[in-house]
């Protein structure tokens, strides 16, 4: 977050800076009072929305996580840490492991791949603008539309993925129903979905690098790999840092692609934390809101932890201009 700036004196104040007779003091107080009132009035809509749909639900999630619920999901009795104890199981361990793998293999390739492409686009070649727009195009796809396209491509019988393998003489692969392949397949689709956004952000970063710096380096004889590794990449570190933080947070929240492509299967191979919450609370008429809320608390803690670690550790190594 950028540091808060000092705000210059508000417009209402300027009339009353010369003298301070009791009358002007009173008027100044009245002005300040109406200014405060107006301020709270302007903040009111947002504050109400946040109170109702962020802060109250936050407390409610904690409350639900320590209560059992009846068949309709209404909290009935206090059960203490029972829902949390349930999580000390191999099953939930697998959910956490899947979440970690999914995050790692959807964030790292998408960021490195986009960096690679954006660096190549710096090679002063013809048609750079068209190429850059082309590489950014996946951004126009929503998670749902991209997932549906990949569902068609991954179709075991008539999908193009197997068609191409077949023409290379390789046997058909059950992309989404083979437990050892489903997670990589969903990760690959997610990397594709994130690619355009990463290219957009990194291109904007490259465009902001001052041409003098690059020119000076070129005059000193740097080019190609040296220019990229010594000049461009270090100057892109704020964007890279931003992308790692944002895509990790996104990956931990991923839901649509898993719901559309695999429904968490096969054999829980793609059940991430968020999907597990959905499954317990909403899927197939299930309304185990207690356990789901306990897992939601875990999600909250994991995400806060990630953000803290990334800001604490990574940011110190980032070079800001």
Partner 1 sequence: MKKFSLGRLAVYVVLGLAAIPVLFPIYYGFVGAVMGPGDLATYPPALVPHELHWQNISDVFRSVSLGRFYVNSAVQAGAITVAQVVTSILAAYAFAFLRLPAKAATFGLFLATLMVPWEAIIIPNYLAISGWGLARGGLTYLGLVLPFLASAFGTFLLRQAFLQFPTELRDAAVIDGCGHWRLLWRVIVPLSKPSIAAVGVYVFLSAWNQYFWPLILIRDSNFQTLQIGISQLNDAEVAQPGLVLAGVALSLLPTLAVVLFGQRYIVRGLTAGALR
State which of positions 81-100 bind partner 1 (CB under 8 A): none
Please list, in sequence order, all residues whose beta carbon lies within 8 angstroms of the beta carbon of residue 30, skipping any fewer than 6 positions away: none
What H or E segment, with its residue span, contains residue 311?
A: none
Rounded to the nearest angstrom, the gap between the alpha carbon of residue 234 and the centroid of all alpha carbons in its chain is: 23
Query: Interaction with partner 1 in 227-286: which residues (CB under 8 A)?
Result: 238-239, 242, 246, 249, 252-253, 255-256, 259-260, 274, 277-278, 281-282
Query: Minimal distance in Å, beta carbon 186 to partner 1?
Result: 14
Rounded to the nearest angstrom, the gap between the alpha carbon of residue 9 and the centroid of all alpha carbons in its chain is: 37
Query: Minimal distance in Å, beta carbon 71 to partner 1?
Result: 15
**Quick one: residue 224, left, alpha or beta (phi over 0 = left, psi -120 to 50 = alpha)?**
left
Size of the site for partner 1 (CB under 8 A): 113
How is 95-137 classified by DSSP, letter by letter?
A: HHHHHHHHHHHHHHHHHHHHHHHHHHTTS--TTHHHHHHHHHG
In whole angstroms, what is the distance from residue 277 CA to residue 267 CA?
A: 16
Query: Minimal distance in Å, beta carbon 296 to partner 1?
Result: 4
Looking at the Cβ atoms of 77 and 90, the one nearer to partner 1 is: 77
| Binding residue for partner 1, selected from 27, 50, 210, 220, defined by CB under 8 A | 50
Looking at the Cβ atoms of 40 and 78, the one nearer to partner 1 is: 40
Residue 65: closest CA among 313, 297, 300, 225 = 297
Query: Interaction with partner 1 in 146-205: which residues (CB under 8 A)?
Result: 146-153, 155, 157-160, 163-164, 166-167, 192, 195, 197, 200-201, 203-205
Query: Minimal distance in Å, beta carbon 197 to partner 1?
Result: 7
Looking at the Cβ atoms of 52 and 81, the one nearer to partner 1 is: 52
């Amino acid at each position: 977050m950028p540091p808060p700036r000092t705000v210059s004196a508000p417009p209402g104040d300027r009339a009353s800076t010369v003298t301070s007779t009791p009358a002007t003091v009173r008027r100044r107080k009245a002005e300040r009072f109406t200014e405060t009132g107006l301020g709270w009035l302007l903040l009111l809509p947002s504050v109400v929305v946040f109170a109702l749909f962020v802060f109250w639900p936050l407390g409610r999630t904690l409350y639900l996580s320590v209560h059992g619920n009846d068949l309709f999901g209404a909290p009935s009795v206090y059960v203490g840490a029972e829902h949390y104890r349930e999580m000390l199981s191999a099953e939930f361990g697998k959910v956490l492991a899947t979440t970690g793998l999914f995050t790692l293999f959807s964030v790292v390739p998408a960021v490195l791949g986009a960096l690679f492409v954006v660096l190549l686009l710096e090679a002063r070649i013809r048609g750079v603008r068209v190429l850059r727009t082309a590489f950014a195009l996946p951004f126009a796809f929503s998670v749902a539309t991209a997932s549906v396209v990949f569902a068609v491509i991954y179709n075991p019988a008539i999908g193009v993925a197997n068609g191409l393998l077949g023409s290379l003489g390789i046997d058909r692969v059950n992309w989404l129903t083979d437990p050892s392949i489903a997670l990589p397949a969903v990760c690959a689709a997610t990397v594709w979905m994130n690619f355009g956004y990463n290219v957009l952000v990194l291109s904007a970063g490259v465009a902001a690098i001052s041409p003098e710096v690059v020119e000076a380096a070129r005059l000193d004889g740097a080019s190609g790999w040296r220019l990229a590794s010594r000049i461009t990449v270090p100057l892109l570190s704020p964007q890279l840092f931003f992308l790692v933080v944002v895509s990790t947070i996104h990956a931990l929240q991923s839901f649509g692609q898993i719901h559309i492509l695999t429904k968490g299967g096969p054999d829980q191979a793609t059940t991430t934390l968020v999907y597990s919450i959905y499954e317990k609370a909403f899927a197939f008429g299930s309304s185990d809101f207690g356990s789901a809320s306990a897992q939601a608390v875990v999600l909250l803690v994991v995400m806060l932890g990630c953000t803290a670690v990334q800001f604490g550790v990574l940011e110190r190594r980032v070079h800001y201009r």
